Chains A and B, each alone.
Chain A
């Protein structure tokens, strides 16, 4: 039995310690917001935080989370459902298309802004380059990150 700290809650799971965090979260904990995209840490769809650092949960064994705090996309919003600043920027800028990669994108962006509240364009691109979006929402992702950082005017809604 392994006890995990997921989004501030203790969860006990009976899994092989080599099991990637991704599958423990999705299948044992039934939290499907974190997605499977490639299984080899190349697409970023599986991004979660371990002690606040973004990791690719598809390639990180659950043993790595021992004694640490895991945060998933489900843990970003307030308890009453209010979106985080990054999530709200994602909605205001109408970023998502199919939406499948966006949990990972938001997790990476959230970690970026925590470490670097005022990133330059180059820093945004470098930090986000590990997260693929097949629908090509990159232009809006850049904008949403700047909006969340308080560095851009929000797009006017019609």
Chain B
């Protein structure tokens, strides 16, 4: 509401008004990958292998689920090594009662049916979004998680 109320701020603002300031310094480092309008630099050929599709598809999941080994839980639990785990097992994550007591073990089949429609498979789950209706995409995502977890 008024930055001026901080002890230092009024002086700062008045000083700015009175004598002007130097413009902002240059960036410490500026990496120009391409100019607007130029094609994206193709570093790798576009692959349609299952893992490549899965990795790209996982970008939708990544806002809520980390996948690095030992990575932190975010809005959703970290999924490293999830295949074969009991549901509700990621340490430190606050699961819904429904999921924690579901008794599910995350085989690929169980994961597949869950991702298809989380709220239907586990009513009360806090996974509010992220359903994937296409079976092929689900298969790719699961394959990707499996591959990452193997490292």
- A130 in the interface, Cβ–Cβ < 8 Å? yes
A59/B57 in contact, CB under 8 A: no
What's the Cα separation between A56 and B59 when bound, in Å? Answer: 16
Q: Which chain B residues border A42 with CB–CB below 8 Å? A: 75, 128
Which residue of chain B has the shortest Cβ distance to A60 in the bound complex? B129
Q: Quick one: which of A18, A55, A60 contacts B57, CB cutoff 8 A? A: A18
A40 to B64, CA, bound (A): 6
A130 partner residues in chain B, CB cutoff 8 A: 128
Please classify how large the interface on chain B is, using the bins under 10, 10 to 19, 20 to 34, 35 or more.
10 to 19
Is residue B17 within 8 Å, beta carbon to beta carbon, of the partner chain? Answer: no
**Nearest-CB residue, chain B, relative to A40:** B75
Q: Which of B22-30, B87-95, B103-111, B131-139 is the contact stretch?
A: B131-139
Contact status B137-A40, CB under 8 Å: no
Nearest CB in chain B to that of A55: its residue = B129
Contact with B along A46-60 (1 / 0, CB 8 A): 000000000110111
A117 interface residue per 8 A CB criterion: no
A69 to B8, CA, bound (A): 55
Q: Tell me the smallest distance from the CB of B17 to a CB of chain A, in Å.
A: 30
A20 adjacent to chain B (CB < 8 Å): yes
Say yes or no: is B31 at the interface (Cβ < 8 Å to chain A): no
With beta carbons under 8 angstroms apart, the residue of A56, A59, A63 that contacts B134 is A63
- B63 on the A face (CB < 8 A): yes
Interface pairs (9), CB distance under 8 Å:
A18-B59, A40-B64, A40-B75, A41-B129, A42-B128, A56-B128, A59-B60, A59-B63, A60-B60
Please list the residues of chain A having a beta carbon within 8 angstroms of any beta carbon in chain B: 16-18, 20, 39-42, 55-56, 58-61, 63-64, 66, 130
Q: A59-B63, A64-B132 are in contact. List 8 more A-B contacts (CB 8 A).
A: A16-B56, A20-B60, A41-B128, A58-B63, A59-B129, A60-B60, A61-B57, A61-B132
